């Protein structure tokens, strides 16, 4: 046989049920928020992996470019060599033209100054 509950006992039990329901609702909301945060972190991690892969590919391309690239020092050296060979060629050409009487000594000197 059951004893009837007093109104006060009934209100206490109802209050406890409401508190428990509120607590469950808060915990469920926190869990949903945490799940959402974890999902976002997973998405961010995937994006970082993709960015890392792209940087690795770019690093390989830059390394290839650097290895095949001509430097300023190299070009300066080649230009100096070319100028030296060009002067030597011009001098020989002008001397040959003078010896063949194509140009005079004065013309050779004038042309040599221009070269």
- pLDDT of 36-67, one tens digit each? 999 999 999 999 999 999 999 999 999 999 89
Identify the burial level of 29 via C-beta atoms within 10 angstroms of its C-beta, where 0-12 means exposed, 13-18 middle and 19 or more buried. Answer: exposed
| Terminal alpha carbon distance of the chain | 127
- pLDDT of 1-44, one tens digit each? 455 556 666 666 666 777 888 899 999 999 999 999 999 999 99
pLDDT confidence of residue 5 = 54
pLDDT confidence of residue 2 = 52
Q: On the CB side of 67, how many CA atoms lie within 13 Å of its CA?
A: 6
Every domain of the chain and the residues it spans: 7-69, 71-115
């Amino acid at each position: 046989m059951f004893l009837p509950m007093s109104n006060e006992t009934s209100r206490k039990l109802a209050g406890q049920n409401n508190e428990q329901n509120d607590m469950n609702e808060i915990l469920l909301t926190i869990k949903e928020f945490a799940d959402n945060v974890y999902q976002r972190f997973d998405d961010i991690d995937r994006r970082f992996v993709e960015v890392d892969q792209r940087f690795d590919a770019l690093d390989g391309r830059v390394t290839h470019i650097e290895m095949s690239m001509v430097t300023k020092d190299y070009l300066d050296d080649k230009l100096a060599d070319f100028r030296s060979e060009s002067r030597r060629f011009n001098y020989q050409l002008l001397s040959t033209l003078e010896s063949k009487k194509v140009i005079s000594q004065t013309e050779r000197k004038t042309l040599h100054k221009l070269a």
